[in-house]
Structures are given as C-alpha cells and as structure tokens.
C-alpha cells in the first residue's frame, strides 16, 4: 500500500510539472537561486493580463520588458537593460511548483540559471 501511495504521489508531481507555465504559475517574487542577479515580480490584473517587473539585484535598475509570451508551456521573455545597453532573450521552463530553469541568451553568451519562488 505504501508503495502504491508513493507511486501515485510521484505521478501526480510529474503530471503537475508537465503542465508547464501559465500566468497563474508565474505570480509571485522569483529570485536567482545563487542569491544575486535579478528579482522578478509577476502579478495578474483583474482582466488576467500578466504584469512583470524585473530589477537588477546589484544596481537596483529596472530591466525593461520588450515582450513576454507563453508558448507550449514555456515562458519567453525579451528584455533590455537600458543603463548597461544589453538585450537578453530568456526561456523559462517549469521544474516544479516553485522552481524554473532559465536559459538566457544575451550579448555576453548563453547561461543556464535556476530561479526560485521566494514570496507569493
């Protein structure tokens, strides 16, 4: 019986992770698991539109969001740091309910980061 419950719990976790990213999933405060980098705040307006604010954790500068979209359960974000004059395209993939893997391509190269939900 214990094995069956463990199997059911494991499958339900796998299924919920496989559902991908939605606007509702993004809501909250997200930070790079390494402790620095960027802080992202996502919220939903009454009409369901996603709001996104990104702050450079080191300088406090706002990062301008050029475009944001969810496609095939992944979240794509195109940003520019106007202060430092660089652009980035990021692809976010859901790992679990509070973790996203982020692949970032910018003027300096390709990076893989882990972001964790810190607050709702």
Summarize pLDDT for 73-120 with one digit per residue, the tens. 999 999 999 988 889 999 999 999 999 999 999 988 999 999 999 976
Per DSSP, 32 falls in state: E
Query: Please, are residues 92 and 101 in contact by the beta-carbon 8 Å criterion?
Result: yes
What was the pLDDT predicted at 18? 56
- Its pTM stands at 0.80
Q: Tell me if residue 107 falls in helix, strand or coil.
A: coil
Q: Tell me if residue 74 falls in helix, strand or coil.
A: strand
For 20-31, the pLDDT digits (tens) are 999 999 999 999
Please give the Cα distance from 114 to 89 (Å, whole number).
15
Contacts (Cβ under 8 Å, ≥6 apart) of 53:
40, 41, 62
For 45-76, the pLDDT digits (tens) are 999 899 999 999 888 999 999 999 999 999 99
Query: Please, are residues 80 and 101 in contact by the beta-carbon 8 Å criterion?
Result: no
């Amino acid at each position: 019986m214990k094995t069956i419950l463990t199997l059911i719990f494991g499958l339900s976790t796998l299924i919920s992770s496989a559902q991908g990213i939605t606007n509702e999933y993004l809501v909250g405060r997200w930070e790079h698991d390494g402790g620095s980098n960027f802080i992202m705040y996502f919220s939903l307006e009454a009409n369901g539109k996603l709001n996104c604010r990104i702050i450079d954790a080191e300088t406090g500068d706002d990062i301008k969001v050029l475009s944001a979209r969810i496609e095939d359960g992944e979240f794509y974000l195109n940003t520019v740091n106007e202060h430092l004059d660089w652009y980035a395209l990021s692809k976010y993939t859901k790992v679990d309910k509070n973790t996203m893997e982020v692949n970032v391509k910018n003027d300096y190269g390709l990076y893989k980061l882990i972001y964790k939900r810190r607050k709702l």
